[in-house]
């Protein structure tokens, strides 16, 4: 299995202040259009933004000789995968968008919470929803369903490339999740996003202040050269005042 690399506390702190909407715009400018995991809605709206390395799990369509209750005791099972999850990871599960087979329920989510898993993200559904909510594990999914996973899916393994919500997810990619859903940052672009993300948030906060003062949008959003020069001058002045 691929080892999940730790994510620096500083990186988590920085990205926890960057909206997923901001990240999709920045990644679009880098040529990446397909980074938002479709069908990943918060099971409980208003959950704090979560940041972590992707720990991937994969399901394929159910096959009757493999998708059985007995398979839950197999060495290749969701139970075994959970015991391999490191603290701080985001479990990203490819459930093929299946809506009538709950991939995890309250007991599995409780164990994930005990192990310090940061969140569960899936394009599928969960079951035992009241119990899942009671575990405190942050969950983003497509909904809920009573039937178990083997009613429609076969679990095949973990820590391999997957397709979740139509997005290619590799182990150790970085996942950021908020009320707008889950966004993937390719591992190779993490350092750039740590610089660009906060700056984009500062720019947009300044633009919002201008809008609240009644400024018109043309030349402001996006900034033209004149507006950007004014922004940079005010930003620099504000930094000098903070030092003094």
CB atoms within 10 A of CB 114: 12
Q: Is 118 exposed, middle or buried (0-12, 13-18, 19+ CB in 10 A)?
A: buried
Q: Do residues 52 and 138 touch, judged by C-beta distance below 8 A?
A: no
Tokens of 231: 């922004």
Please, what are the domains in the chain? 9-187 (3.50.30.40), 193-243 (no CATH)
- Give me the pLDDT at residue 243, please: 34
**What are 184-230's pLDDT values in tens digits?**
999 999 999 999 999 999 999 999 999 999 999 999 999 999 999 99
Tokens of 2: 């691929």
Distances (CA, A) of 49 to 27, 41, 86, 196, 198: 18, 13, 19, 18, 15
Q: Is 88 left (phi over 0), alpha (psi -120 to 50) or beta?
A: left
CB atoms within 10 A of CB 161: 13
From CA 77, how far away is CA 86, in angstroms rounded? 17
- Give me the pLDDT at residue 42, please: 97
Q: Is 238 exposed, middle or buried (0-12, 13-18, 19+ CB in 10 A)?
A: exposed
pLDDT tens by residue, the chain, 244 residues: 567 788 999 999 999 999 999 999 999 999 999 999 999 999 999 999 999 999 999 999 999 988 788 888 888 999 999 999 999 999 999 999 999 999 999 999 999 999 999 999 999 999 999 999 999 999 999 999 999 999 999 999 999 999 999 999 999 999 999 999 999 999 999 999 999 999 999 999 999 999 999 999 999 999 999 999 999 998 875 553 343 3
Which value, in Å, is the radius of gyration of the alpha carbons in the chain? 21
Torsion angle of the four alpha carbons 23, 27, 28, 34, in this order, in degrees rounded to the nearest 10? -90
- Torsion sign over Cα 229, 189, 51, 35: positive
- Give me the pLDDT at residue 237, please: 56
- Give me the pLDDT at residue 73, please: 84
From CA 211, how far away is CA 241, in angstroms rounded? 24
From CA 8, how far away is CA 6, in angstroms rounded? 6
From CA 208, how far away is CA 188, in angstroms rounded? 31
| Residues 6 or more apart in contact with residue 56 via CB below 8 angstroms | 92, 93, 94, 158, 159, 160, 161, 162, 164, 169, 170, 171
């Amino acid at each position: 299995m691929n080892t999940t690399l730790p994510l620096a506390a500083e990186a988590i702190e920085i990205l926890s202040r960057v909206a997923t909407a901001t990240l999709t715009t920045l990644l679009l400018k880098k040529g990446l259009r397909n980074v938002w995991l479709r069908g990943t809605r918060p099971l409980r709206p208003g959950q704090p933004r979560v940041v972590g390395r992707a720990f991937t799990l994969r399901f394929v369509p159910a096959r009757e000789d493999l998708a059985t209750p007995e398979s839950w005791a197999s060495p290749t099972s969701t139970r075994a995968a959970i015991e391999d999850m490191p603290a701080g990871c985001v479990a990203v599960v490819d459930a093929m968008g299946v809506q009538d087979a709950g991939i995890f329920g309250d007991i599995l989510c409780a164990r994930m919470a005990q192990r310090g898993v940061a969140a569960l993200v899936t394009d599928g559904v969960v079951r035992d929803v009241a119990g899942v909510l009671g575990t405190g594990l942050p969950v983003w999914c497509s909904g809920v369903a009573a039937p178990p996973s083997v009613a429609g899916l076969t679990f095949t393994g973990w820590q391999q490339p997957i397709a979740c919500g139509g997005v290619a997810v590799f182990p150790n990619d970085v996942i950021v999740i908020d009320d707008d859903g889950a966004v993937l940052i390719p591992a190779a672009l993490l350092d750039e996003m740590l610089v660009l993300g906060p700056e984009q948030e500062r720019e947009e906060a300044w633009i919002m202040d201008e809008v609240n003062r009644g400024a018109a949008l043309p030349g402001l959003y996006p900034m033209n050269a004149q507006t950007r020069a004014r922004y940079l001058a005010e930003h620099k002045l504000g930094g000098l005042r903070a030092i003094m």
